C-alpha cells in the first residue's frame, strides 16, 4: 500500500466537544498534533475533517473546521456540516463558494436533527452539490447518543433521495451499522451511492469477536455488490482509533487490490483528492 486516505475524522480541541469521552476511552489526546502525527505514522496522506458535536447538540462551526484544516498544512480538507434550516443551508453553500478550492464535501447529521434526507430544506444544498460535483455524507445507523432518532438514520431512507437525485454523490457514513445488508443493496442498486467504514469499532468485552463480525459483514457486502468500488476508508477519530480501522481492513476477506481501493483509490476518485 503506497498511501491511505481517511475520509472521516473529527476534531475541535474544545473542552465542550461531546466526543471527548470517546477520546478519553481510547487514550487519545484528541489534538491536531496527535491527529497529524498518527496520520504520518500510518502513512495516511490526506484526511477529511468533519465537525464534531458539541455539548448541547450543535456541531462545531464550519469556519473552525476550515481553520483547523489550514493549520494542518494540506493534510486535512474540510467537510461542511449542514443543519436543516433555510438559513443554515444558505450559509453552508456560501461558505463552500468562498472556499471552493478546499471544501470537499457536505455532511447531514441524520438521526441527530429533526429532518429526513428528502426534506425540501436541503434542496438548495443538493442543487449546489450536484453542480459542483461535491459528495454529501449522511450519518446512517447507530447514533453516538441514546437520544438519536434511528427511524431517520436508517440507511434505507436514502433510497428515495438516490432515486430522485441520480447526479448527487451520496456517502452513507458508518456503513449504516447495524444494517449492513441494506447498505449492500443501496451501493449495488445506485451508481451514485457509496459507504464508509468509519466509527464501527468502539471497544467492549467482545471487541475482538465483534471486529471479526464486522469484517464478515463488510466482506459480504462487497460480495453482494460484486465490487469494492463503493467502499471508503474512514476512522471517525476519536471514536475509533486509526489502528483499529486499519486492522479491520486487514481482516476483510477480499483481495489486495480491493483493499487498496478501500484504503485510498475510491476516496481519491470520489472526493477529487
- Output the DSSP codes for 174-202: GGGTT-HHHHHHHHHH-TTEEEE-TT---
Q: Which three cell numbers stand for residue 36?
A: 497529524
DSSP state letter for 52: P
Low-confidence ranges of the chain (pLDDT < 70): 1-2
Please tell me the predicted confidence (pLDDT) of residue 2.
65
Separation CA 116–CA 100 (nearest Å): 26
Separation CA 213–CA 219 (nearest Å): 10
Strands, sheet with 170-173, edge to edge from the N-terminal-most edge strand: 4-10, 44-50, 76-81, 105-108, 136-139, 170-173, 193-196, 231-232
pTM over 0.85: yes
Please tell me the predicted confidence (pLDDT) of residue 51.
97
Please tell me the predicted confidence (pLDDT) of residue 203.
76
* CATH number of the structural domain 4-270: 3.20.20.140
- Residue burial 105-117, b: 16+ Cβ < 10 Å; e: rest: bbbbbbbbbebbb
The DSSP H or E segment spanning 81 is: strand 76-81
Amino acid at each position: 500500500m503506497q498511501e491511505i486516505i481517511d475520509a472521516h475524522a473529527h476534531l475541535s480541541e474544545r473542552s465542550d466537544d461531546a466526543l471527548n469521552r470517546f477520546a478519553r476511552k481510547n487514550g487519545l489526546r484528541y489534538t491536531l498534533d496527535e491527529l497529524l502525527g498518527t496520520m504520518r505514522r500510518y502513512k495516511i496522506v490526506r484526511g477529511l475533517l468533519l465537525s464534531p458535536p458539541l455539548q448541547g447538540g450543535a456541531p462545531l462551526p464550519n469556519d473552525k473546521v476550515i481553520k483547523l484544516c489550514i493549520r494542518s498544512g494540506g493534510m486535512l480538507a474540510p467537510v461542511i456540516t449542514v443543519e436543516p434550516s433555510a438559513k443554515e443551508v444558505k450559509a453552508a453553500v456560501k461558505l463552500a463558494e468562498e472556499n471552493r478550492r478546499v471544501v470537499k464535501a457536505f455532511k447531514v447529521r441524520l438521526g441527530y436533527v429533526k429532518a429526513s434526507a428528502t426534506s425540501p430544506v436541503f434542496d438548495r444544498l443538493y442543487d449546489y452539490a450536484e453542480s459542483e460535483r461535491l459528495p454529501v455524507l449522511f450519518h446512517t445507523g447507530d447514533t453516538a447518543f441514546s437520544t438519536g432518532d434511528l427511524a431517520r438514520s436508517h440507511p434505507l431512507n436514502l433510497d428515495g433521495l438516490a432515486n430522485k437525485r441520480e447526479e448527487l454523490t451520496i456517502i452513507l457514513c458508518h456503513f449504516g451499522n447495524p444494517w449492513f445488508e441494506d447498505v449492500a443493496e443501496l451501493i449495488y442498486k445506485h451508481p451514485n451511492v457509496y459507504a464508509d467504514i468509519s466509527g464501527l469499532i468502539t471497544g467492549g468485552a467482545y471487541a475482538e469477536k465483534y471486529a471479526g463480525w464486522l469484517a464478515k459483514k463488510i466482506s459480504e457486502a462487497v460480495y453482494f455488490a460484486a465490487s469494492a468500488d463503493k467502499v471508503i476508508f474512514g476512522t471517525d477519530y476519536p471514536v475509533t482509533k486509526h489502528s483499529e480501522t486499519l486492522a479491520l481492513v486487514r481482516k476483510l476477506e477480499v483481495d489486495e487490490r480491493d483493499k487498496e481501493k478501500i484504503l485510498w483509490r475510491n476516496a481519491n476518485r470520489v472526493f477529487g483528492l
